[in-house]
Amino acid sequence: MQLWGFALEFRAYIIRRLALVVPVLFGVSLLVFALLQMFSPVERAALYVTDPKQFANITEIIEKYGLNDPLWVQYGNWISQIFHGNLGWSKVVSLPVTDAILNFLPATLELAIFATPLIILGGIFLGSKAAAHKDKAVDHITRAGAIMGWSLPTFWLGLMLLMIFYGFFSGLFPPERLSTAMNIVVHSEAFTQYTGLHFLDAILNGNWQVLGDSLRHLFLPVITLTVVQLAFIMRLMRSSMLESLGKGYILTARAKGLDENTVVSKHARRNALIPVLTIAGYIFALLVNGVVITETIFNYKGLGWWAWQSAIHLDIPSVLAFALFNGILFVLTNLVVDLLYAKIDPRVRLGGQAA
Amino acid sequence: MMGLRFVLYQLKKNPLSIIGVAILITFIIIAILAPFIAPPPEGHYDRYMIPRDGFSPTPQPPSEEHIFGTTEGQYDIFYGVIWGTRSAFQVGLIVIGVVLVIGILLGSLSGYFGGIIDEIIMRITDIFLAFPALILAMAITVALGPSLKSVMLALITVSWPPYARLIRGDILVVREEDYVEASRGIGSSHLRIITRHILPNSIYPTLIMASLDIGAVVLAAAALSFLGLGAPEGYADWGQMINFSRNWIVGPPGDPLAYWYTVTIPGIFIFLFVMGWNLLGDSFRDILDPRLARR
């Protein structure tokens, strides 16, 4: 009986939460469309121009895509183009925007695959360590480290790392994704690109040289991406852990004679993790912000590098498509996080906002 | 509500916050005295444009004439970082000032009147919060045409929603207080109730959050400038100065750290500036969250 009620209630929550996503996604598309409207019809026609020669027929293109129509008609046209997978033309890489995104996604995924676990596990470990030893040396060091890490400009950190590990230790950890020689190997007939993730493809192909080279190139960008956000989670985990350590159930656990290790890792840390989960969506946003800067510094050709190139070349369709893509992804990430949260913490789905 | 005197007393007890305050005071002095520390050359048309000493692309190391050296294009690094302090304060204060006005206005409307107004304003904040902030700011800057003004407008556009939400939440609490009810009872206008009774009692956390966000705003502006979307070339701006150093990270063979000053010096300025705000912010958080402070 109880279980039945639980399932119903959880389903009601999911439906409520899903219903919220639709207006937000609509709003996200409206906002991007509004930014697009800051340009003249001629400039907006550039969305669909794949070859400079087409500029001769610019009026036809404006006519064809109805760029002088009333706004709501234009919005309809624009959104239906997007649903058909046409996000415009990226002149920086001479590819349709959709292809460009798919092309650059693996490189960025590769960064995220290494950075995310480091950020989350490292942050949780250091944060709870600091809280468990409040006001001891460990706490002071991690705290000072967190404040300093959080104040570091990502772009400066990356450049300093390059200066030391690429300059001073000549070429130890180079920029870009692969060395020229390995790039040729990767694009040769003998090497199958299963996923586009170089390190994974290298393992699947059994090519250890490519693997080593790929990891060497990943090292600095991953560190750059990690440091700032690690500091953020560490700080959050510390205060969440401190709060959890002050709760009654910790007193109970101690009173019944559990050793300190069990109290900290089994009782306090698990409960302290719940607030950290709620900001998982925010971590995603930080990661995306960081990726643009990191990839720019290291000339690491992924989504962020492409967005930067598009931005400085005033390639409007690409920049807006990138914003739209990340907006949608962010909304969906938050949706998943909320659902997970509701599953873990029953107060959320019972009380709505009250919890 | 917590008295200002109590906060100041707590701040004085914490060594970290004293360091933070000291760093910020130093920067304020640098900003005020900029015309004396790094006097603009005679007949210089715009004080915020860094004077150049020739046009050679290779940065020059620190010398008597240029104590921090020069960047590519011979912009004086010392002049740039000193006047860049002013630019940093300007960007931070203007952006946060406007964000506060928008946030307080929309947040009060939302929290005080509730109902459909609240619903509309909150759904709008949802939309702005649906983007990773820097990405949206980047798109807005590109749409407005890259310039320092666009960067500030973009940062304002992406920064106001959390403020509107914070103040709305605090107003929802204060709205139910007896003195608000009493004022309503004697027939005060909505405007009077909001400005005289509700805001003075709910604005405190928002103001603190705002003052501490200045560091973050300056960091974001510097990032956009670094990406090449901000200040015009030669403008005294820390982010841009680091952008200037991008091609000079690694020196000639045999002397890999030859151009260390181009990236290190402006970076230290940004880092210290942001850390000053964060140190202050961290202690504020501890003071305002007595649950943690007590232990």
Q: Which residues contact A92 (CB under 8 A, 6 or more apart)?
A: A306, A309, A310, A313, A315, A318
- Structure-token match 């504020």, residue found: B284
CATH number for position A290: 1.10.3720.10
Angle at CA of residue A143, ends A138 and A145, nearest 5°: 95
Measured distance CA(B101)–CA(B83) in Å, rounded: 27
Q: Looking at residue B269, which CATH number applies to its domain?
A: 1.10.3720.10
Residue B218 Cα, gap to closest chain A Cα (Å): 10
Query: Is-contact B238 B39, C-beta < 8 A?
Result: no
| Measured distance CA(B273)–CA(B269) in Å, rounded | 6
Instruction: Give the three-class secondary structure for B70.
Output: strand
Q: What is the distance in angstroms between the Cα of A324 and the nearest Cα belonging to chain B?
A: 8
Q: Give the closest-approach CA distance of B182 to chain A in angstroms.
A: 27
Interchain CB distance below 8 Å, A293 and B226 = yes
The string of pLDDT tens digits covering residues A321-348 is 999 999 998 998 888 888 888 777 766 6
* A89 assigned to some structural domain: no
Q: What is the pLDDT of residue A338?
A: 84
Q: How far apart are CA B20 and CA A355, in angstroms?
A: 35
What is the reported pLDDT for B209? 80
Which residue has better confidence, A343 or A82? A82
- List B52's β-bridge partners, or say none: B75
Distance CA B37, CA B78 (A): 9
In a domain, A26, yes or no: no
- Where do the DSSP E strands lie in A21-102? 89-90, 95-96
| Boundaries of domain holding B206 | 11-30+69-288
Q: Is residue A338 part of a domain?
A: no
Residues 6+ apart with CB under 8 A from B190: B112, B113
B34-73 pLDDT per residue, tens: 999 988 888 777 888 998 888 888 888 899 888 899 988 8
pLDDT at residue B292 tops 60: no
Instruction: Using an 8 Å CB-CB cutoff, list chain A residues near B222.
Output: 153, 155
Q: Per the structure, how many domains does chain B have?
A: 1
Tens digits of per-residue pLDDT, A22-78? 889 999 999 999 998 888 787 777 777 777 777 777 788 887 777 778 888 888 888
Phi and psi (nearest 5°) for A160?
A: -65, -45
- Hey, is A152 helix, strand or coil? coil
- pLDDT digit string (tens) for A94-142? 889 999 999 999 999 999 999 999 998 999 999 888 888 888 888 888 8
Q: Is the CB of residue A201 less than 8 Å from the CB of residue A193?
A: yes
pLDDT at site A3: 54
Q: How much helix, strand and coil, in percent to the nearest 5, is found in chain B?
A: 75, 0, 25
What single-letter amino acid sits at A350? Answer: L
Residue B212 lies in a domain: yes
For range B13-24, the mean pLDDT: 86
Q: Say what the pLDDT of residue A355 is.
A: 33
The answer to whether residue B105 is domain-embedded is yes
Set of chain A residues whose Cβ sits within 8 Å of the Cβ of B134: 288-289, 292
Token representation of residue B113: 């009147």
If one counts the domains in chain A, the total is: 1
Q: Provide the residue count of chain A.
A: 355
Q: Rounded distance, CA B3 to CA A292, Å?
A: 42
Task: Using the predicted structure, report yes or no on whether residue B294 has a pLDDT greater than 70.
Answer: no
The residue segments making up the domain with residue A184 are: 104-312
The answer to whether position A341 is within a domain reads: no
Q: Give me the interface pTM, i.e. the ipTM.
A: 0.87
Give the whole-number percent of chain A exceeding pLDDT 70.
Answer: 95
In the prediction, which pLDDT does B295 show? 38
Question: Which of A155, A168, A169, A247 is best to mutate for the B interface (most B CBs within 10 A)?
Answer: A155
pLDDT over 90 percentage in chain A: 25
Hey, what's the torsion of the CAs at A74, A76, A82, A86, to 10 degrees?
Answer: -50
* Number of Cα atoms under 13 Å in the Cβ half of residue B22: 7
Of B130, B270, B279, the CB nearest to A24: B130
pLDDT in tens, B64-96: 888 899 988 889 999 999 999 999 999 999 999
Mean pLDDT of B126-148: 91
Residue of A nearest to B141 (CA): A311
- What is the rounded CA–CA span in Å between residue A346 and residue B280? 36
Q: What residues does B76 pair with on adjacent strands?
A: B70
Sign of the four-CA dihedral A338, A343, A346, A350: positive
User: Which helix (H) or strand (E) segment is A59 a member of?
Assistant: helix A58-64
Q: Which residues pair with B75 in a beta bridge?
A: B52
Domain membership of residue B47 (yes or no) is no
* More confident of the two residues A7 and A323: A323
Interface with A, mutate which of B120, B129, B135, B286 (most A CBs under 10 A): B135
d(CA A111, CA A294): 10
